[in-house]
C-alpha cells in the first residue's frame, strides 16, 4: 500500500484550488448511524473477544481538536480496527478517516469503508482528486490515518517509509495559513507476527510532530520538497525510537 509514493513533488504542488471541487471528486463520510455501531461492536465485542491483553499508552499525546495525521506501523489487517479504539471515539471523541488502496473500496467491503471514514487512492494511477480529498480533510480539522510503511510488514522493525505522508502533510500545511497539522507516530505490536486468538496487543502513541516547522514560511516547490523529505526522516526516527523502547523494556 505505497500510498502517494509515486507522485513527484511537482505534481503535488497544489495551489489555492486545492480545496475546490474536481470533475470526479473523491468522497467519504462517517455515517451517523453506522459509525457509532461499528465503534461499539469493535470496542465491546470484536476486539475483547479476539485479543487477550490490550495495552495502550501515550493517549495523552492525542490532540482534542485540529488536523492530525496518525502514522502507525502496519503489522496486520487488525490495525485499522485497533486504531479507532486507541485514538478514535473512546479516546478523543473523534472519528478517524482512513486513506486506503482502491482495491479495498470495492463491493460490500467498499460500501462499509466509504461510510466509516475511508477513501481510496489508486496506487497504480494516483489522482490529484485523492490528494485534494486528504488535504481537504486536514483543513477541516479531521484525524487522518496513513500507514507510512505502505503495506503490512510482519517483521518487528520500522521499514523504510514511503514519502507520501510527508508530501501530503506539507502540502496541507502550505495550503492554509496557520493550519497547524500535527503528525503522531504510533507503534502497533502484536504478540505474534500473525495475530491469533487471545494474542496480546500493545499500542504506543508518540509525541506530536508539528508540520509547520518544516516550512518556515516558505511554500516554494524546493522548500516543500525539502520539508517533506526531512519530515519523513524524522518520522522514521520517531517510529524507530518507539519500537526500540518497547523492545528494550520487554
pLDDT of 234 reads: 99
Beta-carbon-side half-sphere exposure of residue 139 (alpha carbons within 13 Å): 18
**Exposure string over 196-229, b if 16+ CB within 10 A, otherwise e:** eeebebbbbbbebbebbebbeeebeeebbbbbbb
The domain ranges of the chain are: 29-249
pLDDT of 123 reads: 65
Distance CA 132, CA 12 (A): 9
Distance CA 226, CA 170 (A): 10
Q: What CATH number does the domain located at 29-249 have? A: 3.40.1130.10
> Percent of the chain having pLDDT more than 90?
73
Closest CA to 176 of 136, 214, 226, 224: 136
180: phi then psi, degrees, rounded to nearest 5: 65, 60
Q: Is the pLDDT of residue 157 over 60?
A: yes
Q: What's the whole-model pTM score? A: 0.88
Q: What is the tens place of the pLDDT at every residue in 46-102?
A: 999 999 999 999 999 999 999 999 999 999 989 999 999 999 999 999 999 999 877
pLDDT of 183 reads: 99
Mean pLDDT of the chain: 89
Q: What is the tens place of the pLDDT at every residue in 1-59?
A: 444 444 444 444 443 334 444 456 778 899 999 999 999 999 999 999 999 999 999 99
In sequence order, the β-bridge partners of residue 49 are: none
Q: What is the tens place of the pLDDT at every residue in 215-231?
A: 988 889 999 999 999 99
Amino acid at each position: 500500500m505505497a500510498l502517494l509514493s509515486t507522485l513527484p513533488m511537482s505534481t503535488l504542488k497544489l495551489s489555492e484550488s486545492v480545496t475546490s471541487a474536481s470533475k470526479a471528486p473523491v468522497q467519504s463520510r462517517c455515517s451517523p448511524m453506522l459509525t457509532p455501531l461499528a465503534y461499539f461492536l469493535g470496542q465491546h465485542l470484536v476486539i475483547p473477544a479476539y485479543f487477550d491483553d490490550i495495552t495502550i499508552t501515550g493517549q495523552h499525546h492525542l490532540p482534542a481538536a485540529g488536523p492530525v495525521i496518525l502514522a502507525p506501523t502496519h503489522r496486520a489487517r487488525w490495525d485499522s480496527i485497533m486504531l479507532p479504539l486507541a485514538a478514535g471515539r473512546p479516546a478523543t471523541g473523534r472519528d478517524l478517516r482512513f486513506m486506503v488502496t482502491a482495491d479495498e473500496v470495492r463491493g460490500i467491503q467498499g460500501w462499509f469503508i466509504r461510510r466509516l471514514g475511508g477513501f481510496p487512492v489508486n496506487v497504480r494511477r494516483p489522482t490529484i482528486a485523492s490528494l485534494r480529498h486528504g488535504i481537504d480533510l486536514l483543513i477541516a480539522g479531521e484525524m487522518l490515518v496513513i500507514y507510512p510503511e505502505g503495506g503490512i510488514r510482519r517483521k518487528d522493525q520500522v521499514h523504510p517509509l514511503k514519502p507520501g505522508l510527508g508530501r501530503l502533510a506539507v502540502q496541507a500545511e502550505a495550503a492554509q495559513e496557520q493550519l497547524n497539522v500535527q503528525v503522531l507516530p504510533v507503534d502497533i505490536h502484536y504478540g505474534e507476527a500473525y495475530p491469533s486468538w487471545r494474542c496480546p496487543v500493545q499500542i504506543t502513541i508518540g509525541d506530536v510532530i508539528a508540520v509547520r516547522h518544516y516550512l518556515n514560511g516558505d511554500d516554494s516547490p524546493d522548500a516543500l520538497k525539502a520539508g517533506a523529505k526531512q519530515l519523513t526522516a524524522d518520522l522514521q526516527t520517531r517510529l524507530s525510537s518507539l519500537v526500540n523502547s518497547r523492545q528494550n523494556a520487554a
